[in-house]
Structure 1
Amino acid sequence: MDQKLIESYAELIIKKGINLQSGKNVLILTGPGTYYFARELSKSAYRHGATFVQVLLDDLDVLASRLASQNEDQLTFNPAYMKALDYEMCTEGWSYIRIDATEERLDHAELDQAKNQILGKAKRRFHEARSKKLMRSQLAWCVCCAPGPLWAKQVLGQQAATEDLMDVLKPILLLDQSNPGLAWEQKKEMLDRRRNHLNEQGIDTLHFKSSKTDLTIGFTDQARFTGGADSMPDGLQFFANLPTEEIFTTPDRMRADGYVTTTKPVNVLDVKTEDVRFVFKEGKMVEYSAREGKEALDTFFSIDEGTRRLGEVALVDETSPIAQSNLIFNSILLDENASCHLALGDGYPTALANGAMLSTDEQLHEAGCNTSLMHIDFMIGSKDMDIDATTRDGNTFAVMRKGVFVF
């Protein structure tokens, strides 16, 4: 693989993704198959002034062994040093990078789903303070991906190599531009224009309609569309996802009615789901079915009450570079940026005008923002999707026709 290209990609994540400031520390989470990119990120971070970089390995094959070998009490153990790391990250303002586990999802022993739920729930509670900081954009973070041989074959076919997948990702990541950082600033400006236009309208509801979706979602008067770059409290901007094509907001957790069907595969608790149909009534998911992965959804919806309500509504144009590739990447990072999507679970306080003032679950619920230990995106967009908005003063206008923004 082109070493210069990988170095350029790593620099993009460090300079634009987390917008690393000199003297700051960085935590990187990777699987074994993408460790090569974690190394490049680490070296780039040091070149751009990082004081310390910590790389943590997340190995699903080792996880499978732990699940098979331990009882429930053992699975809830989390070492104290990880709590200390979380505390230092939160107080010292570390940046966080997660490389999507595209290789590991294709190379591990079977995971015991019941035990995985126990372990995952304990882990999410253990790291809840850090998670809240990330969800509120109080720490700079970025989710990215890195090509590997297994993922290349999954996406492009058995004859494909890592280099072939990198060739596909290159224009998606704007690494084919002479100045990728500037290209992402221009992308941000385009997303800002769409976001600002919607925010100026005072939207009360969005109606999603396609051949297999008919869903109306409501919003409080505090809801604000955001997207592109996120802003920390001190004004520092970062890209939480690279690539990103979405503008998104936080819906009213009590206002969703109708049905919606997923249009791309989604991994739920490390299990693939397809053709999932959700039925909502007064904000709550009251019925669901799936052609594949129903058992994983059963487990997901038993985690907490918040998994049955919406935490995010995201709009993505079907002309985005990812959508135009006509590929299923089996990576939520890429697939969600090819399609309009909804998230079940935790909402983003940063997408509420008064979000910075909301510190408890009770305050968030009163403001309409959902809370949960989970947040999973489900892609619903398609080339026959129409979206109409109704404003607070009763006007209606088109947002999308046939999956494409009309403005």
Structure 2
Amino acid sequence: MESFEHYLDQYAELAIRVGLNVQKDQTVVITTPIACADFVRKLAQKAYDAGAKDVVVDWDDDVVKALRLKNAPEDTLRTYPAWRAAGMEEMAKEGAAFLSIYAPNSDLLKDIDPARVAMSSKAAATARAGYLNYTRSNKVNWLMVSYPTPEWSAKVFPNLSESERINQLWEQIFKLTRADQADPVAAWKEHIGTLTAKQNLLNDKKFKQLHFQAPGTDLYIELAQKHQWVAAGSESEKGIFFVPNIPTEEVFTMPARNGTNGTVRSTLPLSYQGSLIDGFSLTFKDGRVVEAKAEVGQEVLDNMLNMDEGARYLGEVALVPYDSPISQSGLIYYNTLFDENASCHVALGNSYPFTIEGGTAMNEEELASNGYNKSLIHVDFMIGSPEMAIDGITADGTRQPLFRNGNWA
């Protein structure tokens, strides 16, 4: 690929300077599969160049993870190392920045009992709840990016050789993250401005409800009373502006916990913790999922919904036009970071406190009274399509077209 090293350097620079926005004397924590080691080293150098005082790497390995889930006693799967969870929370408390490299392998756990995977997932989520509160509330600056691995690239480009498919996936990543542009930082400033304009437009409208209609979907989502639309950039507790997802094309907010009714059908596969869920539909009544059917991954879907009571309620609704660059690539990425930015989507599980006015300063009781949903999970799934129509509905029942034929009306 022409100028590969140049583009890779710009991608790493974007991650550290724009996405994470590392500050002088800040600790940077990188959570990553071992397959991404070369990229981690480049990120570490960029972080030190930006003034970081330390770079801590939390390595993971898919094969070892699968071996544990297959062979470890159930009692072990119901636990999570306390030192690991406490360490992440302690670093968050001290103001560290957190970068996660996401390279999914949706076939990794296909031959492992989904009940065992659910046990382990619940134990990890419960133990890490303190740390996750820091990122979900934007108390710290954090970022998620992706890196091509042989397993992930094989899912996206199954008919190419390993080297060809990895090159193709890099080409898409560079393009969709704007790392291949002459001045990626300037391109991102312009992009953030475009998304912020949509955010401001929606906040001015103060819709009470959204109505989604598409094949298999007829869904009403009531918005939280003090909801605020958010896009691209956020500000940490210490006033650091950061962009938590690269790429990003969404504008999103908080649904009212008990205010979703109707049926919604997924439009893209969902890669969830090493398994695939596809062709699924959910029916909601008073906010809660009362029926769930999947063509692929029914047991995985059921286990996800049974993680805790909040897993059956929505925590996020996001608008993304069908003509977004990721959608126009014509590819399914089997990676939520990319696929969610190709399509309107909703998320089951935990809400983000910063998507209601004053939410980050509220206690749990105040959050709940304003429509917040609490859960161990936050799982985005895609519902947008070229047939999608969305109306915004005001408190007096007035309807306004927001999306037609999958794009902004």
Q: TM-score, normalised by structure 2?
A: 0.95
Query: Bigger CA drift: 57-66 or 258-267?
Result: 57-66
Matches within 5 A, 1:96-135: 96-102=98-104, 104-106=105-107, 110-135=111-136
Q: Does 1:357 align with 2:361?
A: yes
Q: Give the letter aligned to residue 115 of structure 1.
A: R
Matches within 5 A, 1:63-212: 63-102=65-104, 104-106=105-107, 110-159=111-160, 160-212=164-216
| Pick aligned residue for 2:45 from 43, 46, 49 | 43
Cross-structure match for 1:298: 302
Distance 1:51 1:143, change over 3 A: same
CA RMSD between the two structures: 1.6
Q: C-alpha separation between the residues in 2 aligned to 1:333 and 1:250?
A: 19
| Distance in 2 between residues matched to 1:29 and 1:86, nearest whole Å | 10
Mean alpha-carbon deviation: is it higher for 154-163 or for 130-139?
154-163
- What secondary structure, in the 3-state scheme, does the structure 2 residue paired with 1:397 have? strand
Q: In the alignment, which residue of structure 1 is the partner of 2:334?
A: 330
Shift of 1:73: 2.1
Kept in 2, the 8 Å contact 1:278–1:285? The answer is yes
Cα distance, 1:109–1:374 mapped onto 2, change above 3 Å:
closer
Q: CA deviation at 1:107?
A: 5.6
Structure 1 unmatched ranges of 5 or more: none
Q: Does 1:389 align with 2:392?
A: yes
Moved more, 136-145 or 106-115: 106-115
Is 1:371 the equivalent of 2:374?
A: yes
Is 2:281 the partner of 1:277?
yes
Aligned to 1:55: 57
Preserved contact between residue 206 and residue 389 of structure 1 (Cα < 8 Å):
yes
Q: Which amino acid aligns with 1:260?
A: V
- Cα deviation for residue 109 of structure 1 reads 8.0
Is residue 274–residue 290 contact of structure 1 (8 Å, CA) maintained in 2? yes
Task: Say if 1:195 and 1:227, in contact at 8 Å, map to a contact too.
Answer: yes
| 1:307 alignment partner in structure 2 | 311
Unaligned runs of 5+ in 2: none
Q: Distance in 2 between matches of 1:372 and 1:229?
A: 24
Give the CA deviation at 1:168. Answer: 1.9
- Out of 230, 235, 240, the residue aligned to residue 231 of structure 1 is 235
Quote the offset at 1:32 in angstroms: 2.4
Q: 1-side partners of 2:85 and 2:214: how far apart?
A: 46
Deviation at 1:108, TM superposition (A): 6.7
Question: Distance in 1 between the 2:106 and 2:158 partners?
Answer: 17
Contact 1:64–1:110 at 8 Å: present in 2 too?
Answer: no
Structure 1 residues 215, 10: CA separation in 2 closer, same or farther (over 3 Å shift)?
A: same
Contact 1:202 1:221 in 2 (8 A): no
Asked if 2 retains the 8 angstrom alpha-carbon contact of 1:269 and 1:300, the reply is no
Percent of aligned pairs sharing the same letter: 35
Q: Aligned pair count?
A: 404
Q: CA deviation at 1:22?
A: 1.0
Amino acid at match of 1:8: Q
What amino acid maps onto 1:156 in structure 2? F
Task: Tell me the alpha carbon deviations over residues 288-332 of structure 1, each in whole angstroms, 9 at most, x when there is no partner.
Answer: 101111010111122101010000000001111101001000000
Q: CA deviation at 1:49?
A: 1.1
Q: Deviations over 1:252-272 (max 9, x none)?
A: 010011100000000233210
Local SS of the residue matching 2:257: coil
